Structure 1
């Protein structure tokens, strides 16, 4: 009787182990057809969970389902078509690694729908990463996108690569918290309006963020380094570019931290551009508000070309080789910026110089006509010639009342002075009370 019970227990144990193992083995062996079948059989609103494993081929999501990959879920696609195509509104995809191995004109994820959520995806691609076409109100958050060849050490020209996230005629999307490396453009927007690009990190690409013919775009809190240009903003109106950090764009002769070309009525504020060939490059742009930016350790801090009617205020120009250059750029209003190569006079103690700071265009004009003269930059002879050039000063760009100390330090000094005032006032009141009480007791 005891032996029979022991045999029965062993059988039940083996059966339990088989039941526990069998589903995992079944999921791990799922092929492309089975994944597509799961999607096809799901009802709108269902959640489809994909077990760990490598799945080959392309899938299409044509209904509003949630597709969730468990850790270790990988979709590998060798065909010249998207690995994942989304055509239905209201889809959510997360937790999947996608490898798009074809170098044809394709993409890892093709989105032609709206109100979609793409999050926590790990994309390695020989083509585009995520491509949006006529897709609105989507959220693309916390994904990693990298050129596939970088993983194997394969050398590919920048022109042969594609963009990490590419939008065309797609509006009101939020692109946030993504990490993009070694692509052509990190995030590219064309004819796409009111998109928000927030908190992304982009490196070793051509343009970290590239805006073309957009309106109402918000570029906030992003970080770009070791790109050709941190952000290229072109043909844009009513943009907000603020709280970004663009550093170490200097390895290419055309490198800039932030490039504004044909940009109008936009706000460029609280950005940090450091260690670039040119910090800000502004061409054919007008009526922009450029304020509270930190422009440090660039070869050229800011360069204007054929730009007018812009307002620059409370920007700090520190440790740049050349703080500013301006050519054919009249009527820009510069006021209360800090220039570390300028010694002002502050007779009334308001923190602003009583004498103005003028940007001498001599060196820029000379090297534009004869680039080889750049070899004589900051040579004694070149500096002497620059001081001799005083003609047509009325056309020079001038800061009418530059700051005596950096704007950031002035803000801190103001807070410190306010704090000191209130502390002193409190001490005075306490002292008065003590003296009064002591006097009362004596009488």
Structure 2
């Protein structure tokens, strides 16, 4: 008999020995069912496993190729792969009509609503590749985590969020996507003022070969830190416009931004891009600090190490603090200001050339 078993019997005997006249103990809460791990093999349906999952469950994808799009529409679910060898690619065309996520060209959709945000969803350790629109598309989420996901060769965005708060994007790789590797916005289809993300963090990601590494559009209270960005047309865009409240209160710090010299053609809303490190356009009260920005070279109006540029509708950037960055070999200059906004400051930066002169 083990010591634990003996103690259990002793406690039971003690309770019985107290006599039948003792008041019964109040019933405690029913024990919670253990969270399930639902294992999916290549050829099996990820969607069926997700639909069967309860909050707190993990759907684990073993290594292999999955030709499927997946919608997560309940809180607390984790979708976990086995690393780079777990790959999601588009389903055959005949299978797309039954799945809205697939029909819209996305790989993984995390779908809340305006009145019911999905909470605590996690995506981790897998690859989403070759979708005509987005690798991962999340809307109306709270505390979404996307970690160690590779999003590559998707037609628009690698990993995208809208109308979401307290998001963590960490340790992901986004490469060769048609637009932004990571895209974060208040809304995609509507016009409205910037929204407070309540501390969204974009940390330690690798972004390469995209049109833009990270786009932050019409948001506030967000941090982009510790990322490595190379080979994009532009590394970071912080974007605002005429809507109120204005975009801003974004911190961009401790990133390594080098040789983002891919050439991208002009679009309906943006000039051609090449050689842009960090671009602020129509943003306020943001902090750009301790970044290392080197060898970003191009002939676009948006080229340069750190660039302040009027927004598409002419809104200026104001009261932004650019400090303690290291800038080398950027052209036409390390610091470029064509914006007439007031209150922007440049202090402690290590750089050689600026337009206009005197900012270094």
Measured against the shorter chain, the TM-score band is 0.5 to 0.7
The residue number in structure 2 matching 1:321 is 331
Q: Are positions 1:139 and 2:115 aligned together?
A: no
Q: 1:278 to 1:83 in 2, by over 3 A?
A: farther
Contact between 2:148 and 2:170, CA under 8 Å: does it hold in 1? yes
3-state SS of 2:43 partner:
strand
Q: Structure 2: how far apart are the matches of 1:98 and 1:45?
A: 32
Match of 1:155 in 2: none
Matched, 1:119 2:92: no
Rounded Cα–Cα distance in structure 1 between residues aligned with 2:119 and 2:87: 22
Give TM-score, length-normalised by structure 1.
0.55
Q: Is contact 1:175–1:198 with CA below 8 Å preserved after alignment?
A: yes
User: How far off its partner does 1:325 sit?
Assistant: 1.9
Q: 1:340-380: CA deviations, max 9, x gaps?
A: 34xxxxxxxxxxxxxxxx632xxxxxxxxxxxxxxxxxxxx
Change (3 A) 1:192 1:321: same
What is the deviation of 1:209? 0.3
Question: Residue 214 of structure 2 aligns with which residue?
Answer: 231
Q: Which has the larger radius of gyration?
A: 1
Segments of structure 2 that go 5 or more residues without pairing to the other structure are 1-31, 92-104, 113-117, 187-194, 241-246, 261-274, 298-303, 310-315
Alpha carbons 1:210, 1:232 under 8 Å: kept: yes
Normalising by structure 2, report the TM-score.
0.67
Aligned CA RMSD, in angstroms, stands at 2.3
The partner residue of 1:291 within 289, 292, 300 is 289
The question of whether the paired residues in 2 share the 8 Å contact of 1:117 and 1:139 is answered with: yes
Are the aligned partners of 1:232 and 1:259 in contact in 2 as well (CA < 8 Å)? yes
Which residue number in structure 1 is paired with residue 176 of structure 2? 204
Give the helix-richer structure, 1 or 2: 1
Q: Distance in 1 between matches of 2:49 and 2:235?
A: 34
Report the Cα distance in structure 2 between the residues aligned to 1:272 and 1:329, rounded to whole angstroms: 27
In the other structure, the counterpart of 2:322 is: 312
Q: Is the 8 A contact 1:83 1:100 kept in 2?
A: no
Equivalent positions of 1:14-53 (< 5 A) are none
Partner of 1:75: 43
- The equivalent of 1:9 in structure 2 is none
The answer to whether the Cα contact below 8 Å between 1:84 and 1:110 also exists between their aligned partners in 2 is no
Q: CA contact under 8 A between 1:75 and 1:83: conserved in structure 2?
A: no
Match of 1:424 in 2: none
- Which residue of 230, 253, 266 maps to 1:269? 253
Q: Tell me the matched-pair count.
A: 259
Shift of 1:125: 2.0
**1:192 matches 2:192:** no
- Alpha-carbon distance between aligned partners in 1 of 2:200 and 2:43, rounded to the nearest angstrom: 33
Q: Which has the higher contact order (CA 8 A, sep 6+)?
A: 2
Give yes or no for contact 2:50–2:59 (8 Å, CA) kept in 1.
no
